[in-house]
Amino acid sequence: MAVVDSNVVVSLQLTAIQDIPFAQSVVIAPELIDSLSMRKAEFPLIFINSRNQQIYFERDLKKEFPEALAIQKKNGEDLHINYLRTIKYEPWMRDAVLKVRKMSCACKDFKDRGEEVVASFEKEEPVINLFPVYLLPPADKSVKVREEKGSAYLCFVVNKWDILPNYMDNPTELQKIHNSVNIVKNDSNVTIQKMVVEGYASPEGSFSHNTMLSEKRTCTPSIPAACRYG
């Protein structure tokens, strides 16, 4: 990030490695923010789309986000993205930092996934003279924590919400769920901190129908007995 000819120039080089679920997008929102004056300038969004979401973006979202950069991520391949944008420089921006806000998106359902500071303007730092002093560190009384995380993506027949154990990649994904449940069942020191169930539908069809279909896919009562876990 730099000031060039009265403009702020932002250059980002991104690499998308993880595959995008078929009905989702990863959205990156670069923002120039000064936390003291509470002023900010927003840059065009970056949409990293699955195949279905790329179709949906071109059909429905492009009019709403005409300056956005929208790219399809092919499964199994790294996606390299070069992003270059400029805005008019204003004096308050000198104390601002560049943040990228991360979101996931299915249709128009944007969900916040956190943010990171990625750049700031170079400033002359004061020289600090340090003198080494040895301090005995206090005894470590903290509780050691080990995190276990699991995720699975189930596939559904078009316009259906029944979970079919042998459909597409469902055998492998259901086994992931089974393994995650066993970690909790077999280790008394492991506790569940968070569980998230999200349902999606392909962009074909009306919004109301897809909303109904997505909701039924998250709370379907038709899971076979062999696939139910405590």
Share of the chain above pLDDT 90, in %: 29
What are the start and end residues of each CATH 2.60.40 domain in the chain?
2-120
Residue 198: pLDDT band (50, 70, 90) is confident
Cα-Cα-Cα-Cα dihedral sign, residues 105, 109, 111, 116: positive
Residue 207: pLDDT band (50, 70, 90) is confident
Considering only CA atoms, give the Rg of the chain. Answer: 23
Residue 53: pLDDT over 80: yes
Phi first, then psi: what are they for 114, rounded to 5°?
A: 100, 175
Q: Compute the average pLDDT of residues 205-212.
A: 86
Residue whose C-alpha is closest to residue 177's, from 216, 224, 107: 224
Q: Give the pLDDT confidence of 64-106 residue by residue, as tens digits.
A: 999 999 999 999 899 999 999 999 999 899 889 999 999 988 8
pTM of the predicted protein model: 0.54
Residue whose C-alpha is closest to residue 160's, from 199, 108, 107: 199
Residue 124: pLDDT band (50, 70, 90) is very low
The pair of three-digit structure tokens given for residue 214, joined into one six-digit string: 């997505």
Residue 220: pLDDT band (50, 70, 90) is low
What's the CATH number for 2-120? 2.60.40
Question: Residue 34: is it exposed, middle or buried by C-beta count within 10 angstroms (0-12/13-18/19+)?
Answer: middle
| Cα dist from 25 to 39, 49, 82, 91, 115, whole Å | 28, 4, 18, 35, 16
Q: Give the pLDDT confidence of 154-173 residue by residue, as tens digits.
A: 888 988 888 899 998 889 98
pLDDT recorded at residue 97: 92
